[in-house]
Amino acid sequence: MATIDDIALSMQAHLGARGAVHLLRVFGSAEAVYAASVDELVARAELQESIAREIVARKSHRAADRELSYCARHGIEPIASTDEAYPALMRETDDYPHVLYIKGNAEALGGLTLSMVGTRHISQYGVTMCERLVDGLSHRLPSLTIVSGLAFGVDVNCHRAAVRHHLPTVAFIANALPAITPAQHSAFAREIVDEGGAIVTELHSQTKQNGRYYIPRNRLIASISGGTVVIESGASGGSLHTAAMADSYNRVVMAVPGRATDISSEGCNALIRNRKAALVTSADDIIAEMGWDLHEPECKPSSKEPVIELSRDEAGLFSLIGAADPISVVRLQELTALDMGTLAALLLNLELAGVIRQVPGQMYIRN
């Protein structure tokens, strides 16, 4: 659970998400940030002196203390990016929120996830595809979490299909909890929580609501999953922004094709035509694009050591790569402190040795 220092850092004036991420990478934790002196903040983190003095003065801690009390009153769980429950893939981006506020099951954020988005002006074809894809995924991946934004149209249809087929689902909203936007989905949001899912936001209760948080919210939907599926989209809209964000995070982008004459499929068809998204029409297509092969032995944890001889550096790197959960190049570089050239060479050697393989999103897993 997030501490008062965690929440204070996320509320610190003149920092923003990227500034907080930078400080966390330099100092390791919010507690260490607030334990630093002005000189340390300026020298090590290259902060402006005025901002460093505000941090040392702990100016945001009073508001953070109020926020902790607010969360306790409303049954909201704040988790920090340094907590084990925080989504690992989200933490690999440069603009992740240091604190997430959660109603429901925080564990739903940490499993296998797939983001599904699309237009608010959904057609019957879109409704059918939401149901078809989620139904198919539920049979092959019964623990998969479906992620979306609880908006009208595609988002809520994907959430409803997930609940109907007994998959956990996570909704990212663009306002502070416990309120729900749109308000018409408040009762269904409670159903999501009751069925083992969660409602999540990065916004604390003292955020001034002005309608500008929908685009930033989309980056969270894009970053939490290894892949994003656009079900239906016009030529412009938030779902295309989510797809672009997913692509910028090296995630797999997929789109459901529509008829050339359908306005609500213009965006999806353009993504496919411009090779910005893979064409998918079924759960099997999604599983293939994501590399989620459920029948191969490598998908199961294994304690077997490779029979091939590895160098000391290769063996050390190999020990960090699991058989069940893929690990990213960014995370491997953090753990090994190797330069990218050396790391890439070692990874290539391990691939050639047949002991690891690359999966979408610049991730690696054992064979």
**What's the CATH code, domain 297-366?**
1.10.10.10
Determine the Cα–Cα distance for residues 274 and 250; give it in Å rounded to an integer. Answer: 17
pLDDT band, residue 211 (cuts 50/70/90) = low
Cβ atoms within 10 A of the Cβ of 294, count?
Answer: 9
pLDDT of residue 209: 73
* Alpha carbon distance 89, 246 (integer Å): 11
Domain boundaries, the chain: 4-104, 106-290, 297-366
Q: pLDDT tens digits for 93-151?
A: 999 999 999 999 999 999 999 999 999 999 999 999 999 999 999 999 999 999 999 99
Residue 67's SS3 state is: helix
Q: Which CATH architecture has domain 106-290?
A: 3-Layer(aba) Sandwich (3.40)
> Average pLDDT, whole number, for the chain?
91
Residue 226 tokens read as 């290894």
Are the C-beta atoms of 26 and 15 separated by less than 8 Å? no
Model pLDDT for residues 46-96, shown as the tens digit of each residue: 999 999 999 999 999 999 999 999 999 999 999 999 999 999 999 999 999
Amino acid letter for position 99? V
